[in-house]
Structure 1
């Protein structure tokens, strides 16, 4: 097909809630910040600056109009963007995007996930070239390199799956606009909601889907750690040669009284014990101290300023909420969390059997690797209130790199 007769419309799917990427307090993953800007800003910019882009439809959630306007409203070319509301599933959201695009001059469509901000022009050009050559559907993909195992409900490996000819699908998945819209309409009419991507709908509808080379960088940000790694990647790649790193260290201290009970929660891990910690929340001294340490790196007060004990909302609340909040503040102010170190001071219970789980919990909450999380424990040699098993104390240190100044 002569590319002068073909107009490639874009549908960017951004209506999901992204529960796997962290707490609801953090907001949908497509609006989390990486490199100082929301994920969706990076994604939309890739298409706004690509020479072959025609009309662009972004499918958003009804609750996200203000978030989208703030994230993308000032991008050059943003006036070209059409927004429409998505449905309860990704499949329904794509269908709504296709309907909105059908009112434009687009003849073909690229359907892309908002949570893939690193798609590059080489991938877009390869997909477009395949459309130019008359392919009905085009799927960017990369060969599977890991050894694949098929397991059963018994938790055992049943066999090894040959990986020859296996590919990991990416987006943008691209089609003749009318053909993929008809396929979606047929699926909707039959109430088929079990398709995992648009290529699978196209295959089901009898369309031919051609593979083109994807990119290992074109990853989908799915969990909190993906977002943290993307932020670190962008932050490092944009540093000028004369950058002066702004490394800050914050300290935190907390202590809670022990009383008769059935266990204590430390670093987010419950440990059965003949005592419990007294406090307004779950009294996790370790996470309280680390929350203060993170807040200290950007002068954001302390845990009591953000979660006052007088507020009944926090009675019995898991302290993960507090640490999540502090980490979010750090990132919003341009910080990248590099390290978290906690020292627990207690006569009992024994911390060593739970240390690895504690480190893994910290890594999950903060979105950093386990090797950047340290948990240590010591006794008070039976001296003072800790020695008398009247309380447990925690000292925490956090290291954060903020965007520094140039020399």
Structure 2
């Protein structure tokens, strides 16, 4: 358990790992810079996070050789917009390095860090606020997620069905995932570079993160068809305002 310093309230920071190459998306370069509805994908993500007033700042973690972010996000600047070029070879390394950068900027062990995928560019401020509301007083933290609705199949040889898996009680993890810095940093160090999300690292220490219901639109753009769907959803969102 993280002990809060006397007289201090925990703050909330967003951390966006933005050092990936997007190999599965079919894009010519890192997918976070691919245009979606006329703007780089990451621009939609950061615009939504900027509207969450309880976030002290959003830290974007880039790869050391990133030469694209400045052109994609020329307006990303100010007291609540931070950049560090300390990304690692894996997501876990990038997040861990980002936590170190937050500490250098004054974040404390009892402060909350909301790690969000740059590729979940349809995130809405109210969904982030829902997560904060559910987790701000929780001992562990939690994540946005959705109960699995589809029938699940396990693949065997030659891409044939080997088994049908019981879907009851199963949830699909989303982001943001919200944990205290003083818990998440050692959890990632313990789990190693291969862990694929922050909750898994925290679970490996014996904790049980809270599942906070997300929305199906908060999907991660991974495959070429995902970009087309995101375009349609963003167009609908813009015309409904």
TM-score w.r.t. structure 1 length? Answer: 0.53
Out of 129, 137, 140, which is 1:125 matched to? Answer: 129
Residue aligning to 1:74: 75
The structural deviation recorded for 1:151 is 2.6
Residue aligning to 1:222: 222
The structural deviation recorded for 1:196 is 1.9
The structural deviation recorded for 1:81 is 1.5
- Matched residue SS, 1:229: helix
Q: Which runs of 5+ in 1 are unaligned?
A: 242-407
Instruction: Tell me, in whole angstroms, the C-alpha distance in 1 between the residues paired with 2:236 and 2:133.
Output: 33
- Matched residue SS, 1:85: coil
The structural deviation recorded for 1:199 is 0.5
Residue aligning to 1:176: 180
CA contact (8 A) 2:52 2:129 kept: no
CA contact (8 A) 1:57 1:84 kept: no
- Matched residue SS, 1:102: helix
Deviation by residue 1:318-367 (Cα, 9 ceiling, x = unmatched): xxxxxxxxxxxxxxxxxxxxxxxxxxxxxxxxxxxxxxxxxxxxxxxxxx
Instruction: Tell me, in whole angstroms, the C-alpha distance in 1 between the residues paired with 2:160 and 2:29.
Output: 37
Instruction: Tell me, in whole angstroms, the C-alpha distance in 2 between the residues paired with 1:179 and 1:170.
Output: 19
Instruction: Tell me, in whole angstroms, the C-alpha distance in 2 between the residues paired with 1:94 and 1:76.
Output: 21
CA contact (8 A) 1:85 1:96 kept: yes
* Pair 8,238 (structure 1): closer, same or farther in 2 beyond 3 Å: same
Residue aligning to 1:207: 207
* Pair 237,134 (structure 1): closer, same or farther in 2 beyond 3 Å: closer
Deviation by residue 1:355-387 (Cα, 9 ceiling, x = unmatched): xxxxxxxxxxxxxxxxxxxxxxxxxxxxxxxxx
The structural deviation recorded for 1:225 is 1.7
* Pair 240,180 (structure 1): closer, same or farther in 2 beyond 3 Å: closer
More strand by share: 1
Deviation by residue 1:75-130 (Cα, 9 ceiling, x = unmatched): 47476323232111111111111111122343110011000011112321121112
Residue aligning to 2:87: 86
CA contact (8 A) 2:57 2:79 kept: no
- Matched residue SS, 1:11: strand
The residue correspondences of 1:235-246 to structure 2 (distance < 5 A) are 235-239=235-239
- Matched residue SS, 1:96: helix
Which structure would you say has the larger RCO, counting Cα contacts within 8 Å and 6 or more residues apart? 2
Residue aligning to 1:158: 162
Instruction: Tell me, in whole angstroms, the C-alpha distance in 1 between the residues paired with 2:237 and 2:13.
Output: 30
Instruction: Tell me, in whole angstroms, the C-alpha distance in 2 between the residues paired with 1:156 and 1:9.
Output: 44
Instruction: Tell me, in whole angstroms, the C-alpha distance in 2 between the residues paired with 1:78 and 1:46.
Output: 16
Instruction: Tell me, in whole angstroms, the C-alpha distance in 2 between the residues paired with 1:48 and 1:103.
Output: 21
Residue aligning to 1:377: none
Instruction: Tell me, in whole angstroms, the C-alpha distance in 2 between the residues paired with 1:77 and 1:11.
Output: 16
Residue aligning to 2:104: 103
Out of 14, 17, 20, which is 1:16 matched to? Answer: 20
Residue aligning to 2:46: 44
The structural deviation recorded for 1:239 is 4.8
* Pair 144,48 (structure 1): closer, same or farther in 2 beyond 3 Å: same
The structural deviation recorded for 1:57 is 1.2
Structure with bigger gyration radius:
1
